[in-house]
Structure 1
Amino acid sequence: MKKKASPSPARDLPFEIFTWSQVRDEVKAPGNREDDSDRVLVLTGNVVMPYDLGLDFHQGIFAQDDDDEPPFTGLIVRGNLTVEGCVLNWENDFGPFLQVHGNLVAKRIAIGGARIHVTGDLTTEDLVAVYNHGSVSVGGNLKARTLASHYSFKVAGAVDAHRYLGQDSKVFAVAGGVEDVKDPYEGKGVFVPSVVRDGRVDLEKVRARLAAGKPVARDAFTSIREAFRQLVAKKIAEPDKVKSLTLEDKGLTSLPEELFLFRKLEKLNLRRNNLRTLPEELGQLTELRELDLRSNGLLELPESIGELKKLRVLDLEANCLWRLPESLAGCVELRRVNLVNNPYAYVRWAFGSWRKVQLMFDFPEVLTRLPKLEVLTFEGTPLRTLPTRRFDSTTLSKATVLRSLVTHVDPELHGQLQVDVERSREKAAAYIGYWFKPETVRLESFYDAKADRYDFAEVLALLALLLRINIPTAAPYEESLEKFRVQSESIARHLDWDGDKPRHVHALFGALRDAMGLLGEPYPGDALIAGLRDVFAARAG
């Protein structure tokens, strides 16, 4: 049955029309709650469209001659599809599906809630996917100059593109499916200025420009490292004149080697990057007075930091430091040290696994040996212990330990410290809410769907960490047990949101219940262990 004429330029194509019930088994694109009577357009053979292909309901090829007729819900191309214009979908929440049984080649692709499934390769200049209700699935390779998306793609083959995944992420070059995480780009280094604001790429504006046939990407891309090298090129002739340098929010995972040419630097701002470690070359910057390392996910400092004899201010807030090197005592001019929020919220991401996470439970005694220390701040750091010696500094004016796990203070030994022990129990229980939640205990974190196999190692490592934090600080554990009950309910609800997957809930909480024997061995007779057995058993089935 041929489709009647429509207002789309594609009206002359030899469409066939089938009901959803007739093609349901053929369709691989995710469903949109189609009714059996909904209609699907089908083209057989290789198709070339020398114009845009719209993927919005009731428009273009999906326009209805009669509003009382069932709607068109998708297009199947049983062959290769070439679109010389833009594959375009304006509606963010939904849209018809496009299924191509061969390869899809399009000049541009700009979609929202539409669903695209390509059996072969997908090739385009620029691809933007707005919001998160749509989907793109590719059975072969995906090749694009730029790929900007609020949601991830399923690609069986290799991806080749400069990829931006929305929000505050950077752009990364992906070649052969391998992402170059060491050489990121800022949005402004890849996309035209009109679609970048405050460091973010506005995907709605990208879609509008692609729909209008306007460029969204620069002629040449500049990575953060290359931009730094260009900056260096202007100053390298006289590096000793550079006293201050800001590399804030540059997506750096390592420091450019050119940085260490500036031996006269006095102030270095590396705030809000992704630096897990720092090179020993840092010790070459011996003129540094201020070093800002806030919000990096740092795991440790290099031993060479002790070479910074003139350092006065060290900002380590919002990292994941679990110890400080003894060499820090060499920073004899250090006045201010900020250790607020270590670890920060992204602790698991920073370490790469709950099995690798380490926390700063012990007070770094090296801080007591800084002769000119004036201000020291711990807040939200899970210290269990306080120093075993007094501070050497005679100029210490403020030293605070707030929202920690400390439960005892020696008034004589710790008279220089302001310690809040009243909130320690509350803080210990709070970690349960931070980490034992649906976002971290996800189905894919413990279940391999292809192998139909469970692996609870990550979840059990998280539980062991929470036990170590709460025992004995949170005793007698009423608040901790209530947190575990509430969070367990939330996790179970997310795992079985549609009521069809109770076995995953039973398996998870059965494993947690059974693990309490081994995990409880370091805490014989502890009430939290006994209470948790009951909490987990209630959901183990």
Structure 2
Amino acid sequence: MKKKPSPSSDLPFETFTWAQVRDEVKVPGNGEEDSDRVLVLTGSVVIPHDLGLDFRQGLFAQDDEDAPPFTGLIVRGDLTVEGCVLNWENDFGPFLQVHGNLVAKRIAMGGARLHVTGDVTTEDLVAVYNHGSVFVGGNLKARTLASHYAFTVVGAVEAHRYLGQDSKVFAVAGGVEDTRDPYDAKGVFVPAVVADGRVELDKARARLAAGKPIARDAFTSIREAFRQLVAKKLAEPDKVKSLSLEDKGLTSLPEELFLFRKLEKLNLRRNNLRALPEALGQLTELRELDLRGNGLLELPDSVGSLTKLRVLDLEANCLWRLPESLAGCVELRRVNLVNNPYASVQRAFGSWRQVQLMFDFPEVLTRLPKLEVLTFEGTPLRTLPARRFDSATLSQATVLRSLVTHVDPALHAQLQVDVERSRESAAAYVGYWFRPETLRLESFYDAKADRHDFAEVLALLALLLRITIPVAAPYEETLEKFRVRSQEIARHLDWDGDKPRHVHALFGALRDALGPLGEPYPGDALIAGLRDVFAALAG
């Protein structure tokens, strides 16, 4: 149950109308009317409990529901809150404006607006949603700061700061962010508020409201966590031949890893690595490198320096190309490229507009002189190499569940390709990506602005068209996938029957987009069929 802070009868409140204090208020407007009421406290004030910033609750409760609401609190001096400055509602709330300094045990904001002329000092500050605003005219000091958005601090920030989504936590001192020694969320925040590497800010707010900690007693950076993990090995790094860092939640590789110059086997399976540093090339003794299940987008050019590498496992990533320098890996025997991209492709790239896929066969693979086993499966290759493999020892080279429709029997005799399944493979991507989980209402609708933005949705549609045309002709299976998924999306968007306008807007935008998106494919049957599918739900 949400805690409702009780008002303090000892505080000398004065009440003014919005019209009387409008010129004094510095926070962004929230549709206040002249008759709305504003509470004012003059001088240094101590509030010995939580300060709630929600309409008609706590200090802002009113006996007469028909009376104009209290729309904010002005403190003409310093303010100390011995509990939590707390706002539950994400879209709005009474403003708090402090003309002096603000000291609070905890601060947990939603859609309310906070403006402090002086300094802000607190243990933990959470700002859950971007409909609110925070302005600090002086310095901001906190143990942790977690927000979906960067707010304004004129002075210096001192905190361990997390700015949402998949970002890391950085220590900020004197306003300078230390990017050299980042923290994962789990190294700073308690497990109760961390999921999939992200801080769940709504849960953090609830814990602050309940007086529970959101931060660990001691913080551990990615580098320090690594050092703890391999502390004994670091004492004699040249003796380490094999190292497993599987399932360690790594989002980057600590510099200390590259002290193990004699490393022959490195297991980095199932972390969250999107890129690898050029320093990887310093591990020149590597024989086996396992990068399975990371969401990697590219390999560094320095991979070509791994001239002793024999096994390279790249399964379940989001690689869209391989560097030409890979040809330097002259001892490479086995390369695994199954499931590129893996399921979380949108998250790995950050948006559908940024997604890139491996449509072209990386011909650098044909120049590996000792290659024995090469595996592609579930990778949307559309082309095969224009040259034969240099390796005389190639025993197994498969291209399965791809978009390839043509094989040259003479040129591609070394490859096993299931061209008969290209249509099925293309249709499968519609089932994977065009679904309710991907097209949630919040992904294209801003409730506060009452505005639709279909840029991401249309980028996904363009990507699916590029995958399916002309591979999947005559398109019966693809159209059926679109039809079924469209109906599922419509049901989820309008589950309670009061949001049909969002369904109409979404499918109207998809239908209309087929004009410009279909220009490269004049007269294509899939475009015509999709118009009917989308029009049926556009209303």
Q: Could you tell me the TM-score, scaled by structure 2's length?
A: 0.71
Aligned to 1:107: 104
Task: Assess if the C-alpha contact under 8 Å between 1:512 and 1:536 holds in 2.
Answer: no
Instruction: State the SS of the aligned residue for 2:123.
Output: strand
Is the counterpart of residue 312 in structure 1 residue 305 in structure 2? no
CA displacement 1:338-393 (0-9 Å, x = unmatched)? 21221234545555665654321233344355455454332321012345636836
Is the counterpart of residue 392 in structure 1 residue 391 in structure 2? yes
Unpaired segments of 5 or more residues in structure 1? 1-5
Instruction: State the SS of the aligned residue for 2:9.
Output: helix
Task: Assess if the C-alpha contact under 8 Å between 1:11 and 1:61 holds in 2.
Answer: no
> Which is further off, 162-171 or 266-275?
162-171
How far apart, in 2, do the equivalents of 1:483 and 1:194 lie? 38
Is the counterpart of residue 401 in structure 1 residue 399 in structure 2? yes
Distance 1:292 1:471, change over 3 A: same
Task: Assess if the C-alpha contact under 8 Å between 2:402 and 2:425 holds in 1.
Answer: yes
Aligned to 1:514: 515
- In the TM superposition, residue 455 of structure 1 has moved relative to its aligned partner by 9.2
Aligned to 1:137: 133
Aligned to 2:425: 427
> Which is further off, 474-483 or 80-89?
80-89
How far apart, in 2, do the equivalents of 1:469 and 1:205 lie? 41
- In the TM superposition, residue 527 of structure 1 has moved relative to its aligned partner by 1.4
Distance 1:376 1:180, change over 3 A: farther
- In the TM superposition, residue 337 of structure 1 has moved relative to its aligned partner by 2.3
Give the letter for the 1:285 counterpart. L
The within-5 A match list for 1:433-444 is: 433-435=431-433, 439=438
How far apart, in 2, do the equivalents of 1:477 and 1:195 lie? 45
Aligned to 2:82: 85
Task: Assess if the C-alpha contact under 8 Å between 1:73 and 1:96 holds in 2.
Answer: no
How far apart, in 2, do the equivalents of 1:329 and 1:340 lie? 20
How far apart, in 2, do the equivalents of 1:497 and 1:270 lie? 48
CA displacement 1:133-154 (0-9 Å, x = unmatched)? 89743244693524465x7257
How far apart, in 2, do the equivalents of 1:197 and 1:468 lie? 34
Aligned to 2:240: 242
Instruction: State the SS of the aligned residue for 2:405.
Output: coil
Residue identity (%): 60
How far apart, in 2, do the equivalents of 1:8 and 1:137 lie? 24
Aligned to 1:119: 115
How far apart, in 2, do the equivalents of 1:356 and 1:195 lie? 29
Instruction: State the SS of the aligned residue for 1:101.
Output: strand
Instruction: State the SS of the aligned residue for 1:339.
Output: strand
Task: Assess if the C-alpha contact under 8 Å between 2:92 and 2:131 holds in 1.
Answer: no
Unpaired segments of 5 or more residues in structure 2? none
How far apart, in 1, do the equivalents of 2:533 and 2:196 lie? 46
Give the letter for the 2:83 counterpart. C
- In the TM superposition, residue 123 of structure 1 has moved relative to its aligned partner by 2.5
2:45 alignment partner, one of 40, 44, 48: 48
- In the TM superposition, residue 470 of structure 1 has moved relative to its aligned partner by 0.5
CA displacement 1:242-297 (0-9 Å, x = unmatched)? 22334556676654444333210112233455544444443331211221223444
Distance 1:77 1:303, change over 3 A: closer
> Which is further off, 426-435 or 249-258?
249-258
Aligned to 2:357: 359
How far apart, in 2, do the equivalents of 1:274 and 1:310 lie? 26
The within-5 A match list for 1:65-464 is: 76-79=72-75, 82-87=79-84, 97-102=93-98, 105-109=102-106, 111=108, 115-120=111-116, 123-127=120-124, 129=126, 136-140=132-136, 143-147=140-144, 152-153=148-149, 155-156=151-152, 160=157, 161-164=159-162, 170-173=168-171, 183-187=181-185, 189-191=187-189, 208=207, 212=211, 216-218=215-217, 221-228=219-226, 238-247=236-245, 255-272=253-270, 275-348=273-346, 350-351=348-349, 357-368=355-366, 370=368, 373=371, 375-387=373-385, 389=388, 392=391, 394=393, 396=395, 399-408=397-406, 419-421=417-419, 423-435=421-433, 439=438, 462-464=460-462
How far apart, in 1, do the equivalents of 2:252 and 2:132 lie? 33
- In the TM superposition, residue 169 of structure 1 has moved relative to its aligned partner by 5.9
Instruction: State the SS of the aligned residue for 1:259.
Output: helix
How far apart, in 1, do the equivalents of 2:358 and 2:69 lie? 56
Distance 1:331 1:338, change over 3 A: same
Distance 1:54 1:185, change over 3 A: same
Aligned to 1:477: 475
> Which is further off, 480-489 or 44-53?
480-489
Give the letter for the 2:360 counterpart. D
Distance 1:182 1:539, change over 3 A: farther
Instruction: State the SS of the aligned residue for 1:321.
Output: coil
How far apart, in 1, do the equivalents of 2:263 and 2:430 lie? 42
- In the TM superposition, residue 105 of structure 1 has moved relative to its aligned partner by 2.0
Distance 1:458 1:535, change over 3 A: same
Distance 1:445 1:124, change over 3 A: farther
How far apart, in 2, do the equivalents of 1:202 and 1:469 lie? 35
Distance 1:363 1:285, change over 3 A: same
| Aligned residues: CA RMSD | 5.6
- Name the count of aligned residue pairs: 516
Task: Assess if the C-alpha contact under 8 Å between 2:90 and 2:131 holds in 1.
Answer: no
CA displacement 1:66-108 (0-9 Å, x = unmatched)? 9x9899987731235623312165x978999442133672433
How far apart, in 2, do the equivalents of 1:342 and 1:426 lie? 17
Task: Assess if the C-alpha contact under 8 Å between 1:401 and 1:419 holds in 2.
Answer: yes
Give the letter for the 1:381 counterpart. T
Instruction: State the SS of the aligned residue for 1:10.
Output: coil
